[in-house]
């Protein structure tokens, strides 16, 4: 039995680097859900997500010897997945929702907030435990974000990449990334708020 988490990953990685395929397969098993989830939300396609998962782990295996373990295996493999998903999005021309349709709070002419957030927000996290319908509303709202906004939100807020890592992966500037992240958060916040306010 190998320990769970990054420590166990380290032992499995060393074993895989020494040629133990079983250890590599266990690493795959540990990380495949998150790789698949990221690819699915990025591309919004189950078929693409399945292929990206294959490409990601094949590429991870091919570069196994050059991976020095300065980062956790998990972050490394998720960055590979992010890059593969980004490449796929770049090669795919889809009808994009206009940027102006991103939902944001309403202000008066004088810049005053017109609506107060729903009372549910102030409940402690465990009390607003995720219900299935809210989860569905969030997935719809995430899928509806324009690609450039959805990418940044998923990489930063779901995967925990740094602004610099995202800039490197997307080729965009850090200020542009921050501005999109802010608008994506506002749009998702609105979606959750509307869900709470539904009668």
Partner 1 sequence: MYTCQDSINLLLDFLDGEMPAEVSAELREHLAGCPPCVEFVESYRATPGICREALKAKMPPEVARRLTQFLRSRLPPQGVP
Interface positions with partner 1 (CB under 8 A): 16-21, 24-25, 28-29, 32-33, 35-37, 40-41, 46, 49-50, 53-54, 57-58, 61, 64-65, 105, 107, 110-113, 115-118, 121-122, 125, 128, 130, 134-135, 138-139, 142, 153-154, 157-158, 178, 181-182, 185-186, 188-189, 192-193
Least Cα distance to 26 among 39, 37, 16, 41 occurs for: 16
- The partner residues of 113 in beta bridges, in order of sequence, read 107
Kindly tell me which of 86 and 155 has the beta carbon lying closer to partner 1.
155
Distance in Å, CB of 133 to partner 1, minimum: 10
Kindly tell me which of 10 and 139 has the beta carbon lying closer to partner 1.
139
Kindly tell me which of 93 and 116 has the beta carbon lying closer to partner 1.
116
Distance in Å, CB of 126 to partner 1, minimum: 11
Cα-Cα-Cα-Cα torsion 165, 169, 173, 178, nearest 10 degrees, comes to -60
- Those residues whose C-beta lies under 8 Å from the C-beta of residue 147, and which sit 6 or more positions away, are 89, 94, 96
Count CB-CB contacts under 10 A for residue 6: 13
Phi-psi region of 104 (alpha: psi -120 to 50; beta: other; left: phi over 0): beta
Kindly tell me which of 93 and 112 has the beta carbon lying closer to partner 1.
112
């Amino acid at each position: 039995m190998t320990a769970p988490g990054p420590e166990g990953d380290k032992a499995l990685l060393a074993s895989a680097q020494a040629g133990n395929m079983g250890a590599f397969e266990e690493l795959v098993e540990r990380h495949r859900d998150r790789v698949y989830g990221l690819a699915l939300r990025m591309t919004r396609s189950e078929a693409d997500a399945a292929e990206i998962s294959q490409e990601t782990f094949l590429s991870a295996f091919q570069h196994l010897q050059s991976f020095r373990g300065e980062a956790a295996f998990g972050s490394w493999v998720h960055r590979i997945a992010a890059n593969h998903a980004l490449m796929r999005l770049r090669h795919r021309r889809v009808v994009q929702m206009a940027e102006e349709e991103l939902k944001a709070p309403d202000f008066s002419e004088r810049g005053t907030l017109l609506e107060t957030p729903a009372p549910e927000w102030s409940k402690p996290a465990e009390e607003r435990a995720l219900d299935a319908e809210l989860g569905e509303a969030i997935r719809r709202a995430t899928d509806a974000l324009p690609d450039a906004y959805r990418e940044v939100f998923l990489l930063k807020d779901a995967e925990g990449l740094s602004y610099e890592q995202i800039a490197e992966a997307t080729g965009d500037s850090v200020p542009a990334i921050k501005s999109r992240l802010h608008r994506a958060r506002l749009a998702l916040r609105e979606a959750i708020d509307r869900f709470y306010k539904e009668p």
